[in-house]
Amino acid sequence: MANEPLLSMHGIDKRFGLAPALVGAHLDVLPGEVMALIGQNGAGKSTMIKVLNGFVKHDAGTIQFEGKPWAAASPEVAQRAGISTIFQEINLIPFRSVVENIYLGREIRNRAGFLRWRQMTIAAKTLLDEFGIAIDVEAPLGHYSTAIQQMVAIARAVSFNARLVIMDESTSSLDDHEVQVLFATIRRLKQQGVAVIFVSHKLDELYAVCDRVTVMRDGRTVAVASMAEMNKLQLVATMLGRDLAEVRKQGATAFSASARPPGAEVLAVENLAVGRRVTNASLNVRRGEIVGLAGLLGSGRTETARAIFGADARGGGEIRLNGKPVTFTEPHDAIASGIGFCSEDRKQEGIIPGMSVRENMTLALLPALSRSGLVDEARQRKIVERFIADIGIKCSSPDQPIRELSGGNQQKVLLARWLCMNPELLIFDEPTRGIDVGAKAEIQKLIRRLADDGLGVLMISSELEEIVEGADRTFVLRDGRTVSTFDRAEASEATLMDAMAHGTAA
């Protein structure tokens, strides 16, 4: 590694309205270095990245890239200059083919201006082969899983001959094998002298692939160290700004066992079939309990949840709500019956970025708030202000655009959207995906509190620790079938992994 930084950002300030997002922040990255950039949601990581790639303009401070003053007018300009950013939320075009997405904006053409489809198709296949992805590159991107779409986004960014690649929570939707493929790519980039800024809330990943770490808190850079100099507890304590002993005492998750026995059954699913992914899924949820739904990527967890919510067509089986058979042909039916659904993809299926916190929170409630097409704004604001206070949503005002909030606070707004509907059952698909340890603990406490108040909760999570610590009962899916059921006392990471790998009759 060279001694002179490839990137140097110093004294960076940025405000959104009256709220400071960055205060004198700094970040230095050496050529061929993998720099971890971590902090709680709202710490300033995303804003720092957006300043670097030209998405937002900073108010003060200096930036140098490759030894020269740097100010990108847009992410496209930054990409052409050698800075590629891969965001957690996939920003490709799902109805276009994989090859079209990879070459979007830089299509290969002949002298007459016609596209060279064959050349681009072969090149796309070759590129994806390096990532261990064997797919039909001429099929629409949207036909593939979120994980495959994420890997395509990564491959596209790497293909720009970048000098600096920024990976913002790029592993959040990848399985273990895909994460290892990504890490191999990062190591290859490092050998080629390409630097990587790696943003992740999964601490094990930082130690597996990063050289140094920059920690941010409240818009400031509070620590820079080699990974070998800071253990996991020190990192967490630094991020939270708490005493190390306090963090050690708090433990890994904020979940706790329910103090009350569960109530009556609110949901029962028997022999559910959904497309080709789900062939025989069965589970049930009682009032006052958190039921975990575990399984490997592709096991049918999300498809099962979407079918319960009416978002995907059911091909067979039975769903009962409060003991009565139901058939939901669309989410509206499920919502009217008291079911809420927090999707794993906040950007595509949750928030409406251009709308305010107030508008996003009351979106499902608008019919009840309206009369003759007019919204009762006084009542709407009263409800919004109550949930902002109850759930602890950090925003400058109810009218702040939701896109300016951290991931954890966006998730809280989505949770409030359903709570103001007084649901009987809440489905969470990856509720803490891409959320820092502090906000993660808050979300976990909220879920436990909701269950203790009598709500039925169905929770999907790829983090086995979250399932083991949080679920009162756990159903395991394998190849679209329910293969095992565990009570809290029976569930452990080892037993869940064994069921996911081998499967036993439930």
Query: Using one digit for the tens of pLDDT, what is the confidence trace for 11-40?
Result: 999 988 777 889 999 999 999 999 999 887
Contact 274, 304 (CB under 8 A): yes
pLDDT, tens only, 103-155 = 887 788 888 888 888 988 998 898 888 777 788 999 998 888 777 887 788 78
pLDDT at 63: 95
Is the domain of 386 the same as that of 461? no
Asked if residue 123 belongs to a domain, the reply is: yes
- Claim to verify: residue 114 and residue 26 sit in the same structural domain: yes
Q: At what angle do helices 407-419 and 377-391 cross, to 10 degrees?
A: 120
Q: Please check whether residue 381 lies inside any domain of the structure.
A: yes
| Amino acid found at 9 | M
pLDDT at 249 over 60: no
Are both 141 and 34 inside the same structural domain? Answer: yes
Q: How far is CA 241 from CA 43, 251, 297, 505, in A?
A: 11, 16, 35, 47
Please name the residue that has the structure tokens 């110093």.
10
For position 459, which CATH number holds? 3.40.50.300
Q: pTM here?
A: 0.58
For residue 383, the enclosing domain spans 351-420
271 and 327 both lie in a single domain: yes
3: exposed, middle or buried (C-beta count within 10 Å: 0-12, 13-18, 19+)? exposed
405 and 430 part of one domain: no
The answer to whether the CB of 350 falls within 8 A of the CB of 409 is no
* Residue 343 forms part of a structural domain: no
Residue 296 lies in a domain: yes
The Cβ of residue 290 has, within 10 Å, a number of other Cβ atoms equal to 29
Separation CA 164–CA 195 (nearest Å): 5
Verify that 60 and 22 share a domain, yes or no: yes
**Residue finishing a domain among 249, 273, 307:** 249
Q: Is residue 345 part of a domain?
A: no
In the beta sheet, which residues pair with residue 459?
292, 428
What letter represents residue 360's amino acid? N
Least confident interval from 34-43, 364-373, 445-454, 477-486: 364-373
Q: Is 360 in the same domain as 441?
A: no
> Which residues is 293 bridged to in the sheet?
460, 475
Length of the chain as a residue count: 506
Out of 231, 249, 267, pick the residue that ends a domain: 249
pLDDT for 506 equals 44
Indicate whether 1 belongs to any domain: no
Give the full edge-to-edge strand order of the sheet including 60-65.
19-29, 7-16, 60-65, 68-69
Looking at the structure, do residues 223 and 259 belong to the same domain, yes or no? no
Indicate whether 123 and 263 sit together in one domain.
no
Bridge partners, residue 168, by sequence: 199
Domains contained in the chain, number: 3
Is 346 domain-assigned? no
Under a CB-based contact definition with an 8 Å cutoff, are residues 29 and 35 in contact?
yes
**Domain identity same for 407 and 442:** no
Are 221 and 128 within one domain?
A: yes
399 and 501 in a common domain:
no
In a domain, 2, yes or no: no
